[in-house]
Chains A and B, each alone.
Chain A
């Protein structure tokens, strides 16, 4: 079946450091890929998405590129802030699919 694998956290960084969170997926066909962010005590917020190979999703300084050849969708940000401390989830949805399949989440802690 479909699956999403993320690097385990927690990831602890200093403010202004570079952030990378690895995400790889297993799915047939050409799924759409997403990154969601969950702040403490809240629901999920859509951070960015990509719907086809080589698409780059970007938002709030975060970027991720859909790599079909490596089945990956790694999240990056060049300079993190304390406010970026959250749990980040990588997810996919298949064509004509109705459900999101999520990775286990990666907790990021940014220290001042």
Chain B
């Protein structure tokens, strides 16, 4: 069974640039959630993708956007990068069944983004 993978592992960008982060979900999972973890803090929910559509969003501006592909992998795009976007970005995959409720989320290793 393949776990959750993310790429790249590290990234350095400058303010105003755009970035795309990628996530491959665990085998058998159909849902991907993205989280931002600032240094020394707990992860914060950005959004979730299910059936290739956004299925809930946290308190993040529209310049944070995403995609989910038919193979359930996902991308997180951030436009107009700001210094405060420097963080560890975590992807989590899960299986959402017919009941659609409280599935267990399994995390990838994360992408560490530094904005200069």
A95 touches B45 (CB 8 A): no
Give the distance in Å from the alpha carbon of A105 to the alpha carbon of B37 in the complex.
11
Q: Could you say which interface size class chain A belongs to?
A: 20 to 34
A36 touches B56 (CB 8 A): no
B4 to chain A, nearest CB (A): 8
Give the distance in Å from the alpha carbon of A94 to the alpha carbon of B56 in the complex.
13
Give the distance in Å from the alpha carbon of A36 to the alpha carbon of B108 in the complex.
12
Give the distance in Å from the alpha carbon of A46 to the alpha carbon of B4 in the complex.
13
**For the complex, is B90 an interface residue (Cβ under 8 Å from A)?**
yes
**For the complex, is A82 an interface residue (Cβ under 8 Å from B)?**
no
* B50 / chain A contacts, CB cutoff of 8 Å: 98
A100 touches B43 (CB 8 A): yes
Q: Which of B12-20, B64-72, B97-105 contacts A (4 or more CB under 8 A)?
A: B97-105
A49 touches B104 (CB 8 A): yes
* A89 / chain B contacts, CB cutoff of 8 Å: 42-43
- Which B70-116 residues have a C-beta within 8 angstroms of A? 88, 90, 92, 99-110
**For the complex, is B24 an interface residue (Cβ under 8 Å from A)?**
no
* A96 / chain B contacts, CB cutoff of 8 Å: 99-102
Q: Which of A11-19, A37-45, A58-66, A73-81 contacts B (4 or more CB under 8 A)?
A: A37-45
- Which B6-58 residues have a C-beta within 8 angstroms of A? 6, 31, 33, 35, 40-45, 48, 50, 55-56, 58
B104 touches A46 (CB 8 A): yes
Q: Which residues of chain A have a CB within 8 Å of any CB of chain B?
A: 4, 31-32, 34, 36, 42-46, 49, 51, 89, 91, 93-105
A-B pairs with beta carbons under 8 Å apart, 13 shown: A43-B4, A43-B88, A43-B108, A46-B107, A51-B102, A93-B102, A94-B102, A95-B102, A96-B100, A96-B102, A99-B33, A100-B105, A102-B43
